[in-house]
Amino acid sequence: MRFVIVTGLSGAGKTLAIRYMEDMGFFCVDNLPPKLIPKFAELCYQSSGKIDKIAIVVDIRGGGFFDDLFECLYNLKELGYDYEILFLDANDDVLIKRYKESRRMHPLVREGRVIQGINMERERLKSVKEKATYVIDTSYMQPRQLKETLLNLFGDSQATQSMVISVVSFGYKNGILLDADLVFDVRFLPNPFYIDELKNHTGKDPDVRKYIFSFPETQIFLNKMEDMLDFLIPYYIKEGKSQLVIGIGCTGGKHRSVAIADAIYEMLRGKGHRVNIAHRDMQNKEE
């Protein structure tokens, strides 16, 4: 089990970090009072593996409760629970700029200058930073760089990448796929709907698939799709994209788009990508 306590300077990126860790499969809790950490850890360790990655944000928003953190860390060790501390930091000028851009007040200084709150917070967190397992300075990091750093520290070693690809077939007559990142129109392929013995079947049917793939343009299209996705996917991953939705559309979403979407799904899965498949309109009666 990985039990990570996320802390650090206000404005250094803890909220963004916890979102990325949640995408990595961590069970995340924000602003948990430190005194509750040992009990929470006990519940997680007793979950029989159902919860094996936990990230808890603890910072000075907890007020006086934050001062209990060291006692709670000691209790965790006494109980035999391993933990890691992730500390996020940033330069004063960067933190001030972020506060000005967000127009938020520093939690330690409701009245007064932001720099005063930052100085007070640094002093209170000095001992925590010294005990931290990892310290990340986010001063000049882009969000994707922070995500890449967190993936290197906490990502699943069995996964070669973090992005999930969804291949979804749909019919244009029922509206375009709204959440698609890439949309491909396969209405240029011959339509099985006009073949009486195929009309009432779907792209899952072997005879429908045989008909669609009997045309050379079908394989040419898939070859070009493969080349393009092989080119695009590594760059999407590099930019920190966590999900890619590929829409495959035909007229009604029952025949051509289903068969092509399934073929793309199998191709991507064969390359080791994390991919799932869905057919939005396959059960509609007409194409």
* pLDDT digit string, tens, across residues 63-111: 655 667 878 888 888 888 889 999 999 999 999 988 888 777 787 777 7
Cα–Cα distance between 29 and 99 in angstroms, integer? 23
pLDDT digits (tens, 9 = 90+) for 231-276: 999 999 877 777 899 999 999 999 999 999 999 999 999 998 889 9
Q: What pLDDT was estimated at residue 167?
A: 95
Sign of CA dihedral 107, 109, 111, 116: negative
- Compare 167 and 31 and report the one with higher pLDDT: 167
Evaluate if residue 179 carries a pLDDT over 60: yes
Sign of CA dihedral 113, 118, 121, 122: negative
Evaluate if residue 142 carries a pLDDT over 80: yes
Q: What pLDDT was estimated at residue 63?
A: 62
Burial of 227 (0-12, 13-18, 19+ CB in 10 A): exposed
As a dihedral over the C-alpha atoms of residue 237, residue 27, residue 71, residue 76, rounded to 10 degrees, the angle is -100
Q: What pLDDT was estimated at residue 198?
A: 94
Mean pLDDT confidence for 165-173: 94
Sign of CA dihedral 8, 9, 12, 17: positive
Evaluate if residue 184 carries a pLDDT over 70: yes
Cα–Cα distance between 247 and 261 in angstroms, integer? 8
- Compare 104 and 215 and report the one with higher pLDDT: 215
164 Ramachandran zone, left/alpha/beta (phi>0; psi -120 to 50): beta
Q: Sorting pLDDT into bands at 50, 70 and 90, what band is 145?
A: confident
Give per-residue burial for 126-138: e unless 16+ CB within 10 Å, then b.
eebbeebeeebeb
Q: Residue 278: how many CB atoms within 10 A of its CB?
A: 14
Q: At 254, phi and psi to the nearest 5?
A: -110, -35
* DSSP-assigned beta bridge partners for residue 246: 167, 182
Evaluate if residue 136 carries a pLDDT over 90: yes
Residue 59: closest CA among 22, 86, 93: 86
Mean pLDDT of the chain: 88
Weakest mean pLDDT among 108-117, 209-218, 240-249: 108-117
Mean pLDDT confidence for 148-169: 76
pLDDT digits (tens, 9 = 90+) for 25-69: 899 998 888 888 888 888 887 877 778 899 999 887 766 556 678
Q: Which pTM was predicted? A: 0.61
Evaluate if residue 160 carries a pLDDT over 50: no
Cα→Cα distances 187→172, 208, 248, 264, Å: 9, 15, 10, 16
Cα–Cα distance between 25 and 164 in angstroms, integer? 12
Highest mean pLDDT: which range of 134-143, 161-170, 211-220: 211-220
Weakest mean pLDDT among 74-83, 152-161, 204-213, 237-246: 152-161
Cα angle at 254 between 249 and 256, to 5 degrees? 55
